[in-house]
Amino acid sequence: MAHTVLVVTALEDVTADRVIEALNERDVPVVRFDPADIGAELAFGFRLGSGRSTWGGWLRTASRDADLGDVGAVYHRRPTPYTARFRQLPQQQRDFAAAEARHGLGGVLGSLHSALYVNHPSAVARAEFKPWQLQRFTELGLRVPPTLVTNDDGAAREFAEQHGHVVCKTFRGLPCDADGRAGAIWTQRVDPGAFDDSLAVTAHLFQAEIPKTGDARVTVVGRRVFAQRITAPAGTVDWRRGDWNDLVHAPIAVPTVIESALHSYLGSSGLLFGCFDFALTGAGDVPDDWWAIECNPNGQWGWLPDAPAIAAAFADILSTEGGGRS
């Protein structure tokens, strides 16, 4: 019997749906759940000791049961924050209950040493820091735009004078508001004349604007690489902003030296999957045309033209007999 795959994600996740569909085609047992459902719809009993050196026990959802001993792989996608489960409680109780759930349930789920993780949540947390990403890119020989991290308006003006056109980015996405609605702050050009001491409030990421001819999204799953060139309307700074129907996608070949660097990046980060974004100059057919922007260790790919092939690559890794068992 094939090993069980745990799919840890929110209820509405079309990307996870694609992978589960591919796993179902392979007759792989799947137990999908959102840790934030802890309660009557998500129960568990985990044991350690008395001759047991690894966590064992069971986990039960409204529709499925999982024995930890049968789990060979964990697809950790985008679960709901535990705080959402306890939002009706007073703040102290909410914070306490969420922390207990994260350290208890989350702690066991992160300690399944015989399972293959795509990706392990602790590895994702480490790899989400953009300054670390950019430094690792340069260590691996990838080109990155000149970058400044600062909260000083003088340093920002000096950087802009040196590089001319400058863009500002966020380190993280915009948090949900009090009503749970998500938002976004896109990469945008900045006017150095607007810099003032309000920059001192927090950290800012500035980069020299690359005169790009397009962008590339490179999705790496294990040893498989899927690359799409994304062409946006002229003058677009961030292709994610605007009407996605105006975007043109086309397969693009990744130079061998770039592909090798991406595999090295994931390996050194403890990741099996990552979505890499590049700015392209020229035709994109030589390494110097590729400027590394970031790697999302839990990125979206369901909207890409090659999404079916990417889903199959995920299913191939997760369904490998024995998973990550040593």
Residue 182 has pLDDT above 80, yes or no: no
Burial track 126-155 (b if 16+ CB lie within 10 A, e otherwise):
ebbebeebbebbeebebbbbebbebeebeb
- Locus of tokens 């702050």: 185
Please spell the DSSP secondary structure of 95-129, one letter per residue: HHHHHHHHHHHHHHHTT-TTSEEES-HHHHHHHT-
Residue 166 has pLDDT above 50, yes or no: yes
Helices (H) and strands (E) in the chain, counts: 8, 16
Domains and CATH numbers, the chain: 4-118 (3.40.50), 120-144+211-318 (3.30.470.20), 146-209 (3.30.1490)
Model pLDDT for residues 11-60, shown as the tens digit of each residue: 889 999 999 999 999 999 999 999 999 998 999 999 998 878 899 999 99
Residue 176 has pLDDT above 90, yes or no: no
Per-residue model confidence (pLDDT) at position 173: 75
Whole-angstrom CA distances from 33 to 26, 48, 228 are 20, 23, 31
Q: Are 95 and 42 in contact (CB under 8 A)?
A: no
Per-residue model confidence (pLDDT) at position 178: 64
For residue 78, what pLDDT band results from cuts at 50, 70 and 90? very high
For residue 326, what pLDDT band results from cuts at 50, 70 and 90? very low
The DSSP symbol for 191 reads -
Average pLDDT over residues 205-230: 96
Look over the chain and give the mean of its residue pLDDT values, rounded to a whole number: 92
- Locus of tokens 């840890």: 8
Model pLDDT for residues 14-24, shown as the tens digit of each residue: 999 999 999 99
Per-residue model confidence (pLDDT) at position 324: 43
Average pLDDT over residues 308-326: 79
d(CA 75, CA 7): 5
Model pLDDT for residues 238-255, shown as the tens digit of each residue: 888 877 788 899 999 999
Name the least confident of 114-123, 139-148, 225-234, 242-251. Answer: 242-251
Per-residue model confidence (pLDDT) at position 179: 64
Q: Which two tokens stand for residue 322?
A: 């024995």
- Locus of tokens 């030589």: 286
